[in-house]
Structure 1
Amino acid sequence: MLTTKLTALLSFLSLPLSISSHPTNKPPHEQSHASPSWSLVNPLPPNTPLTLHLALTQPNLHSAPTLLHALSDPSSPTYGQHWTAQQVAEYFAPSDEAFTSVKEWLVSEGVSRENIKKGRKGGWVTVDITAAEAEKVLGAEYGLWERKGDGKRVVRCERYWVPEGLEGIVEMVLPGVGFDTALEAEGGEREESAKGVVKRETEGEKGKGFRALGKKPGKKDGLGDCSELITPACLRALYDIPEPKAFSGLDNTLGIVEFAPQSYAQPDLDLFFSTYTSHLPNGTAPTLAAIDGGYLSSDTTVNTRGESNLDLSYAMALALPTANITLYQVGDSVVWNPATNNNFLDAIDAAYCTTDGGDDKDWDAIYPHDNPSNDPSIYTGKPMCGTFEATKVISVSYGSNEDARPARYRERECNEYLKLGLMGVTVVFSSGDSGVAGLRSQCVEEDGSYTPVGADYGRFNPMFPGTCPYITSVGGTALPPSSVPGKIPEVASTSFGSGGGFSNIFPLPSYQASAIASYFASHEPSYNSSRYNNTQLVRGYPDIALNSENYATAVNGEWMAFSGTSASAPTFAAMIALVNAERLKVGKGSVGFVNPVLYEHPEAFQDVVEGTNPGCGTEGFRAVEGWDPVTGLGAPNFERLRDVFLALP
């Protein structure tokens, strides 16, 4: 997947490796270093049952970036000729021979044939085994490890082996070598619910700022207060977004992804629509795609209502009825482990699923859950694998620190977004709300652990999936005080640091090469490699930015103002849905992966040249002329963007 030059670079950037204390003559296929955040509690007793998941390498992945570029480069003769989901599945499906080779290896090591199962669509091999058998097969030593701070325990090894002939077939093994870095506790990470179910706040939820509004929001179409309170009318004025209109017979779709316990409240949507729209009557709701027990919570707190109400209010106000809105509601009321982006991907790609759903029981939710109390909010059905189709545009406002999972794990997820691009799907992610720091404003210590919350030192901590080169990462901007849309240019978000920086895993995509080279040639930051990956050979993010401050949102019948890139992402996703409608109306297809077109046409953006995204005791990066790791290419203008895409095949 990576060139020789980049492979050497990424090896240099990786954490120190650790060899097992018990020598083995089997060279490691993959090994890792457990940071000081983790300590070994005890080796697993030999008879401990384990379920191993062996991810089979997907063939043709080496050619996938080139294929995607051929469909999304505006100068390509095959631009827009997207594949069907079936074509994508067949092209990347591991062969029957690959499964047979792995099975025969396992059997030769003493594993019973009856305990080896082929996963859905052949993407995984599942093995029911004991710890002693697993250690013999993999040349590994499995133990129970504990993370300091929260006491979380996981089963891991520090190295494992596969035969030389299978190194290109077995991509990774779970549970394997990955140790996520400890998050500094913030107000306590665990709580006991009244039902006795262990719950945790979702790791990936963005920590937006919000404040109660002391007065009733202003007029539906008023623009005088946009620097203090954003409304749909403000966004239309800022970015020349037209009023939506219905186009009959168009298969135009927009999906919003939410994770339990976040869910919207219909009365709040009704209050928002009656206040800020004239075309959406009470009861207007998204189409619900309930994934793995996805449910609408009866809780009314801002922590469970705010995100979903915000995302849906603006996506629906800006895009309905031009596009049909689907809500991918993921996860039941058991949120330890919480549902993740991987659980969502499982539901739209059966080949990504393991045989029991999820991808790693310590990182992703595994379904079904036990339900002795017959609680209807707890999911007891089969894990959802390939159950739902992907909409033409997907907006997600959840992510995590790039280094919180092993590189192989991140690459496998990132490749799912590449596949969606091949299918003509635009995937939009918010870039984060902690500037150059990671979740909870934590940076990275020299030993690989995280600093305390808000520490004024450490290495910059990039956010994923923002660093994946196959999604569009959206940062945040703001209107200067007392300004009116269109009169004064926007600046980088001021009430929080818009997420941005450079990956430590993913190489520089070709569509971004010129922009990155120009940035470093004219505005190279003063930080050295101890702060961030300054090689100029890796993916930079965000790609673009939109207003992200003080979005008027109804929560439990009251009005609040929300700030964060979680607001920017669905706004841009709605704009792309409107562009798709214009193309579909004249017989063209959806725009799919948009980044190559965006970077080819910087004239479609209002450049943002003021502001920073601070973190780790620094001002972070600066917004400058051209692309920058604060606001990307700048703020899009809908009319210019529409004209660019309409001119393409």
Structure 2
Amino acid sequence: MLPSILLLFPLLVAATSGFHVLERRDSAPAGFTRIGSPQEDQVLSLRLALTQGNITGLHDTVYAISTPGNSRYGNYLTREEVTEFVAPSSETLSSVNSWLASNNLTASPITTARDWLLVNMTVSQANALLVADFSTFQSDATNETVIRTLSYSVPAILKSSIEWVHPTISFPQAKSSRPPSSLKRPTTAASAQPPASSVSADCRMNSSWTPVCLQELYGIPSTPAKPTTDLFGVSGFDNDFANLRDLQTFLEIYRPDMNPNTTFGLITLDGGLNNQLPGGAGLTGNPDTQYAVGLTNGVPVTFISTGTLPDDLLVEMLDQANYLVSLENPPRTILNTETPQLESLLSSPQIAISMCNAYAQLAARGVSYIVQTNIWGAGSVPIPDCKSFDASFPATCPFVTAVGATEFNNDEPEEVASQFSGGGFSDLFKRPKYQDSAVSGYLKATDNTDSSAFNVSGRAIPDVAAIAAISWIFDGGVVDFLEATEYSATIFASIVALLNNERIAAGKPGLGFLNPLIYSNGDAFNDMKTGSNPGCNTPGFNSTVGWDPVTGFGSPSYPRLQDVCSKL
């Protein structure tokens, strides 16, 4: 019994000395084992999330400026105006800094709003400050170690000032595997051929969708975009790089009408790089930039490389969002196809809430932020004994646009839902009003799914969908085939970047946060009425008329979307 008593001791102290337990968990997540205690003088870099001043007011403003027909539509906020909403009160800042100073610690602000503070302290100081027991845990899968605690506390007087501290009880989540693909074997670039003239028939038969095929499928213009200063940002995390030489080869093969020397810009943060050495490119950054450049034809594309933080992918994503909010003129379209995180495996829901609030700030700035859902259907996990459907974050955040997957079956003439398209309902975020009518209609019209397996009142995903199968160039000129929802998101984001570019070239504001526009213009999409996304030993959800949790409203029709946008 002695070890159990020792583990409970910090909680007993917190309960008897004017401290409030901010977060706790009963044990480390499956796959992690406590192997001992770190050196007491080892330095930890802890982030304190302070209570934001008026986050509800920010959310209300986002919906107003993003909803067509509202008198404020398109009146996006400056970074200073966003700061006014999220900046902590002076009392909050004063009390938190005084508490730290009394423990001989100093905080550095991470954001201009000062709602995030960074404090470096030793393990010994952290244990004393937070009434915690920081220990070393090892991943059974990778043998990598992390320092975490199972609970931590703050003075009770500060419980309304500090929302959470990180990293504390949150453990890293392994990346999902992509579904196996045997549809095409790699070939050398020299033997690859441009698409034949009968594009539609060839694309349906070949299964992989090149830029020319996508132009015909979705009505995407092939002519160069009008020159503007607006940017299309493509995200890169965890040392997943984009190769310039591979882009040139891609354009030579698949867009011979474009200048093969067309390139992309680079933004780095948190020590990010863009390694151009052989083998340095990844399965995300490389195909994402190739299709972003190849589909938008003249829209300036920028690769945003965020450095790898120790076991902290979600904080990398949060840092990127906070950085973009701070820019005077952020890119109007941002693509993030990083592997989604399962909501049920998020050690702390607070990190998802904070990230979603950061995406709300981007929405307030007029940014269209686009992500993928997941690749394992309704269950979102390749686990045969899963008990309930598990939605993926950040797709479940109400302030991003989530993209599912479609496909063509053999030589069938119609696009249908892909069986691995992630979709479902959030357990963290309630359903936003903009999707009430569409989602309620689906739930009333279908009875194919056991509602006990998901939260019917949660934010529903996806919002839209697109083809998931692409051809790309990797490692010095090898042509390969890939299929996953992240490439669906890349295709849809490229279309949005073109629409934003057209509006800005015409002197209009960008589209900003897309979802209110999407849910009021469902007929601008190609409705998928066939297919399902089985998961957890169930048929999953069915694709049906109108919105559904497999393909959302369906795949984009550029001409119809262009017509909608021209009337805004």
Q: TM-score range by the shorter chain?
A: 0.7 to 0.9
AA aligned opposite 2:169: V
User: Corresponding residue for 1:434?
Assistant: 376
AA aligned opposite 2:367: V
Where in structure 2 are the equivalents of 1:574-593 lying within 5 Å? 574-593=494-513
2:512 matches 1:533: no
Gaps of 5+ in 2: 1-5
Partner Cα distance (2:274, 2:169) in 1:
36
Partner Cα distance (2:375, 2:60) in 1:
32
Partner Cα distance (2:67, 2:192) in 1:
47
Partner Cα distance (2:530, 2:41) in 1:
61
User: Corresponding residue for 2:335?
Assistant: 395
AA aligned opposite 1:620: G
Q: 1:635 to 1:319 in 2, by over 3 A?
A: same
User: Corresponding residue for 1:311?
Assistant: 288
User: Corresponding residue for 2:214?
Assistant: 235
AA aligned opposite 1:125: L
Partner Cα distance (1:233, 1:138) in 2:
57
Partner Cα distance (1:241, 1:433) in 2:
25
User: Corresponding residue for 1:66?
Assistant: 60
- Per-residue CA deviation, residues 37-79 of structure 1 (Å, 9 max, x unaligned), is 4444345676665444321111111222211100111121111
Partner Cα distance (1:151, 1:336) in 2:
17
AA aligned opposite 2:103: V
AA aligned opposite 2:402: S
| SS of residue in 1 equivalent to 2:147 | strand
Following TM superposition, by how much is the alpha carbon of 1:388 offset from its aligned partner in structure 2, in angstroms? 9.0
Q: Report if aligned partners of 1:265, 1:309 keep a CA contact under 8 Å in 2.
A: yes
Partner Cα distance (1:498, 1:581) in 2:
29
Partner Cα distance (1:589, 1:406) in 2:
37
1:498 corresponds to which of 418, 421, 428: 421
**TM-score, normalised by the number of residues in structure 1:** 0.77
Q: Report if aligned partners of 2:531, 2:543 keep a CA contact under 8 Å in 1.
A: yes
Partner Cα distance (1:51, 1:204) in 2:
27
Q: Report if aligned partners of 2:192, 2:253 keep a CA contact under 8 Å in 1.
A: no
Following TM superposition, by how much is the alpha carbon of 1:603 offset from its aligned partner in structure 2, in angstroms? 0.8
Partner Cα distance (2:148, 2:249) in 1:
49
Partner Cα distance (1:163, 1:45) in 2:
25
Name which of structure 1's ranges 456-465 and 215-224 shifts more when overlaid on structure 2.
215-224
Following TM superposition, by how much is the alpha carbon of 1:471 offset from its aligned partner in structure 2, in angstroms? 0.6
2:428 matches 1:512: no
Q: Report if aligned partners of 1:225, 1:482 keep a CA contact under 8 Å in 2.
A: no
1:103 corresponds to which of 97, 104, 118: 97
Q: Report if aligned partners of 2:391, 2:424 keep a CA contact under 8 Å in 1.
A: yes
Q: Report if aligned partners of 2:52, 2:87 keep a CA contact under 8 Å in 1.
A: yes
| SS of residue in 2 equivalent to 1:621 | coil
Q: 1:64 to 1:19 in 2, by over 3 A?
A: farther
Q: 1:44 to 1:482 in 2, by over 3 A?
A: closer
Partner Cα distance (1:401, 1:83) in 2:
32
1:480 corresponds to which of 401, 409, 431: 409
| SS of residue in 1 equivalent to 2:335 | strand
Partner Cα distance (1:576, 1:567) in 2:
14
Partner Cα distance (2:98, 2:505) in 1:
53
Partner Cα distance (1:50, 1:306) in 2:
32
Partner Cα distance (2:424, 2:535) in 1:
11
User: Corresponding residue for 1:329?
Assistant: 305
User: Corresponding residue for 1:370?
Assistant: none
| SS of residue in 1 equivalent to 2:203 | coil
Following TM superposition, by how much is the alpha carbon of 1:521 offset from its aligned partner in structure 2, in angstroms? 0.6
2:158 matches 1:170: no
Name which of structure 1's ranges 623-632 and 549-558 shifts more when overlaid on structure 2.
549-558
Partner Cα distance (2:39, 2:286) in 1:
48
Where in structure 2 are the equivalents of 1:180-219 lying within 5 Å? 180=172, 183=174, 203=175, 209=181, 211-213=184-186, 216-219=192-195
Q: Report if aligned partners of 2:79, 2:328 keep a CA contact under 8 Å in 1.
A: no
AA aligned opposite 1:159: S
AA aligned opposite 2:224: K
User: Corresponding residue for 1:124?
Assistant: 116
Q: 1:552 to 1:225 in 2, by over 3 A?
A: farther
RMSD of aligned residue pairs (Cα, Å)? 2.9
Q: Report if aligned partners of 1:43, 1:142 keep a CA contact under 8 Å in 2.
A: yes
Q: 1:622 to 1:217 in 2, by over 3 A?
A: farther
Following TM superposition, by how much is the alpha carbon of 1:614 offset from its aligned partner in structure 2, in angstroms? 2.6
AA aligned opposite 1:161: S
Partner Cα distance (2:139, 2:509) in 1:
48
Gaps of 5+ in 1: 1-17, 184-202, 353-385, 444-454
Q: 1:411 to 1:524 in 2, by over 3 A?
A: farther
2:355 corresponds to which of 404, 410, 413: 413
Where in structure 2 are the equivalents of 1:358-397 lying within 5 Å? 390-397=330-337
Q: Report if aligned partners of 1:230, 1:551 keep a CA contact under 8 Å in 2.
A: yes
Partner Cα distance (2:246, 2:108) in 1:
47
| SS of residue in 1 equivalent to 2:402 | strand
AA aligned opposite 1:342: V
Following TM superposition, by how much is the alpha carbon of 1:547 offset from its aligned partner in structure 2, in angstroms? 0.9
Q: Report if aligned partners of 1:262, 1:305 keep a CA contact under 8 Å in 2.
A: yes
Q: Report if aligned partners of 1:255, 1:325 keep a CA contact under 8 Å in 2.
A: yes
Q: 1:479 to 1:638 in 2, by over 3 A?
A: same
**TM-score, normalised by the number of residues in structure 2:** 0.88
- Per-residue CA deviation, residues 523-573 of structure 1 (Å, 9 max, x unaligned), is 1443353xx323x21111111001112435465323222211122112111
Q: 1:152 to 1:427 in 2, by over 3 A?
A: same
Partner Cα distance (1:262, 1:48) in 2:
29
Q: Report if aligned partners of 1:554, 1:560 keep a CA contact under 8 Å in 2.
A: yes
Q: 1:431 to 1:42 in 2, by over 3 A?
A: same
2:132 matches 1:156: no
Following TM superposition, by how much is the alpha carbon of 1:291 offset from its aligned partner in structure 2, in angstroms? 3.0
Q: Report if aligned partners of 2:218, 2:556 keep a CA contact under 8 Å in 1.
A: yes
Partner Cα distance (2:472, 2:98) in 1:
60
Name which of structure 1's ranges 67-76 and 208-217 shifts more when overlaid on structure 2.
208-217
User: Corresponding residue for 2:71?
Assistant: 77
Partner Cα distance (1:147, 1:21) in 2:
25
2:255 matches 1:277: yes
User: Corresponding residue for 2:8?
Assistant: 20
User: Corresponding residue for 2:3?
Assistant: none
| SS of residue in 2 equivalent to 1:139 | coil
1:31 corresponds to which of 24, 29, 44: 24
More helix by share: 2
Partner Cα distance (1:459, 1:149) in 2:
24
